[in-house]
Amino acid sequence: MADEELRWIEAALGAVSKLNVDETQPDLEGARCPKCDASNFAKVSDLYSESVGRLEDGGDPTAVRDGGMTDTQVVAKFRPPRRKSAFVLTAFVAAVVGGGAYYVYRRFGDNAGQVAAMVAGVVTVIVLMTTIRRLSDQYYHRRKRWNSLYMCRQCGQLVAS
């Protein structure tokens, strides 16, 4: 009875985990590797998660697996893309325009300084928002490309679907 419940829970969790998967990705059935002419491909994201799992379980990190690569090589080469931060660019722009606003305040007085400070604030917010948007677009593009990448299990050739 407990085994049946466990299988049902695993099946339910598996179905929930695939809700976000893009179903429009083509399958590589019948495709041939351009390097070795084999037709056995593995999805890079699956290889990565399997390798991470084996390394966390204490498996042999030097054992050669699919494509002639070890688990440590797969984890190092095929890690998923990460989000980048907009903080550095925004802080730099805020420092530059803030310095300019301070100069205007010291040179031309209170009224011009207040206008310059408001302009500096608006410019900083614009840079922050556009940088966040650009980095987000780049991240999702890299993530989609990573999810559509396959590797030949024999020779290690990468193929994008």
**pTM of the shown model:** 0.68
In a domain, 104, yes or no: yes
In a domain, 115, yes or no: yes
Q: Which of 29-33, 46-50, 52-56 has the lowest mean pLDDT?
A: 29-33
In a domain, 9, yes or no: no
pLDDT over 60 at 112, yes or no: yes
**What is the rounded distance in angstroms from the CA atom of residue 36 to the CA atom of residue 9?**
41
User: For residue 25, what pLDDT band results from cuts at 50, 70 and 90?
Assistant: very low
In a domain, 14, yes or no: no
In a domain, 7, yes or no: no
Contact 154, 33 (CB under 8 A): yes
**What is the rounded distance in angstroms from the CA atom of residue 40 to the CA atom of residue 37?**
9
Structural tokens at position 120: 């500096």
Domain residues for the domain of 76 are: 31-161
CA-wise closest residue to 80 among 44, 133, 112, 56: 44
Please give the average per-residue pLDDT across 53-71, as a whole number.
Answer: 84
In a domain, 57, yes or no: yes
The reported pLDDT for the residue numbered 135 is 95
The reported pLDDT for the residue numbered 101 is 97
The reported pLDDT for the residue numbered 109 is 93
In a domain, 53, yes or no: yes
Domain count, the chain: 1
Contacts of 84 (CB under 8 A, 6+ apart): 135, 138, 139
In a domain, 4, yes or no: no
The reported pLDDT for the residue numbered 113 is 95
